[in-house]
Amino acid sequence: MKALRPEADPVQETIAAIATAPGRGAIAVVRVSGPDTVQVARRLGLTDLSPRTALLRRLEHPEGGQPVDRVLAILFPAPASYTGEDLLEISSHGGTLLPQLVLDAVLAAGARLAEPGEFTRRAYLNGRIDLLQAEATADLIEAASPALAGAALHQLERGLSRRIESLRERMIEVQALLAYDIDFPEEDDGPLDRTRVDEALAALRDDLDTLLALAPEGEMLREGALTVIAGRPNAGKSSLFNSLVGFERAIVTEHPGTTRDAIEAVVGVEGYPFRLVDTAGLREASGAVEEIGIEVARSYLGRADIVLFCVESGRSLEPDEIAFLDEWPSNGRTTILVRTKADLRPAGELGPPADGDRCALQVELSAEQGEGIGKLRTMMLDAAWSGLRARPEAPLVTRRRHIRALESARSSIDEFSAACEASLPPEIAVTHLQDATVRLEELLGSVSTEDLLDRVFSSFCVGK
């Protein structure tokens, strides 16, 4: 999906595209949207459409009138349609050929092929959805994990929008207190009660912090938690990889990486995505950390959220392994020491304590027999998604754009407080709160106007 920013808009024409995925299927949907939709429909022989009613009709090619397919056509007149324009949905038979023929007929009737995302973009431009909802639509379509789909649906249903709107409203409420103080210096209520301002801002800070605290996990939802498998040759890395991938039959996609020094799979664990990376099977292009002999996809290591460090069960750590653990674990990522090949260890014989204090998280498993995998999965979930799992209903920010806006609003509040602290007068200090409000409005893609004075008048007795 293309960027949804309302810039460089092409001349508004009537657009059309196949809305369903290509391939064999019982039906396919072609969507048409724009000012000429009804004319396009007429030229296709759909002359008697009535609003929001599904009609079974024969669709004809506009040039020559030969029949194309029997279709189910629904007209959604503006403005109550997805795009806010006249919108026509044509359900034709599926497969590879017919949808294309229907689309060709629609284009011949005067529509032009839509750009990727153009329907949603028009919905935003026509005020049907806000910017957050537009982004959510993209996320929903591209969601590779139930968790992202859930967050996107929540966002589409304005869960996040409502949260941001409420933050913005409260920000305006604080400004109204200050505006009242500035514009009505002689009223009943006397001078401004600073504690009201301070308390409201403290609550706002808390709420912004709560949103921001989950934001890294929200951002991670799109790509999955980067989980890198490391270990000496033959430490059981590829078995672990296969076992984690195979365990979750759900969604395994090969990631067309830019650097082919690793293989990847996105694995869903209880709906949460992990992007699993291993050098296994790529010996020639191996990313071994040569000087210490540990095999790991180096280019990923710095960005890893989780490192699964494989050491065979029942033996002590070698110096190079100790060096790896000592040198590499940092930057907020979690390293889990995976004691592999538990099945090969003589029965009843416990492995040595295995330098337990080098790594707080340890799990012993047998990839062959599946033992310990469940425990590892839980550890991985806890390491990457503890915040989200604890508060699954919380509105979630999933994009850099959101995080930047919220952080900027947050620091503007701090700047306001600092300005007050430095005894700057209210009309100067309040400019920082205006900044914070604008950040939140940009997040929604809306800009507001008179709300401030409305607030002043609804809550104060203004007399002189």
Among 104, 115, 142, 188, binds other proteins (CB under 8 A): 188
Asked if 316 interacts with other proteins (CB under 8 A), we say no
Dihedral sign of CA atoms 244, 245, 250, 252 in order: positive
Binding window for other proteins (CB under 8 A); candidates: 197-205, 274-282, 305-313, 453-461: 453-461
Binding window for other proteins (CB under 8 A); candidates: 251-259, 306-314, 336-344, 439-447: 439-447
Among 94, 99, 110, 372, binds other proteins (CB under 8 A): 110
Positions 4 through 23 that interact with other proteins (CB under 8 A): 6-7, 9-14
Shortest CB 205 distance to other proteins, Å: 22
Neighbouring C-beta atoms of residue 417, cutoff 10 Å: 17
Shortest CB 449 distance to other proteins, Å: 5
Which positions ≥6 away from 47 have C-beta within 8 Å? 41
Number of residues counted as binding other proteins (CB under 8 A): 63
Query: Which of 124, 120, 111 is CA-nearest to residue 15?
Result: 111
Among 17, 44, 75, 244, binds other proteins (CB under 8 A): 44
Among 169, 187, 207, 343, binds other proteins (CB under 8 A): 187
Which positions ≥6 away from 403 have C-beta within 8 Å? 212, 215, 219, 397
Inter-residue contact 109 to 62 (CB < 8 Å): yes
Cβ nearer to other proteins, comparing 207 with 451? 451
- CA dist 54 and 464 (Å) reads 62
Asked if 81 interacts with other proteins (CB under 8 A), we say no
Shortest CB 454 distance to other proteins, Å: 9
Positions 190 through 249 that interact with other proteins (CB under 8 A): 191
Shortest CB 107 distance to other proteins, Å: 8
Positions 125 through 154 that interact with other proteins (CB under 8 A): 125-127
Asked if 421 interacts with other proteins (CB under 8 A), we say no
Cβ nearer to other proteins, comparing 299 with 434? 434
Asked if 254 interacts with other proteins (CB under 8 A), we say no
Inter-residue contact 281 to 242 (CB < 8 Å): no
Asked if 439 interacts with other proteins (CB under 8 A), we say no
Q: Per-residue string for binding with other proteins, 49-68, x by CB under 8 A?
A: -----------x-xxxx---
Shortest CB 128 distance to other proteins, Å: 9
**Could you list the residues that contact other proteins (CB under 8 A)?**
6-7, 9-14, 35-36, 39, 42-45, 47, 60, 62-65, 78-79, 84-85, 108-110, 124-127, 179, 181-188, 191, 422-428, 431, 445-447, 449-450, 452-453, 456-457, 461-464
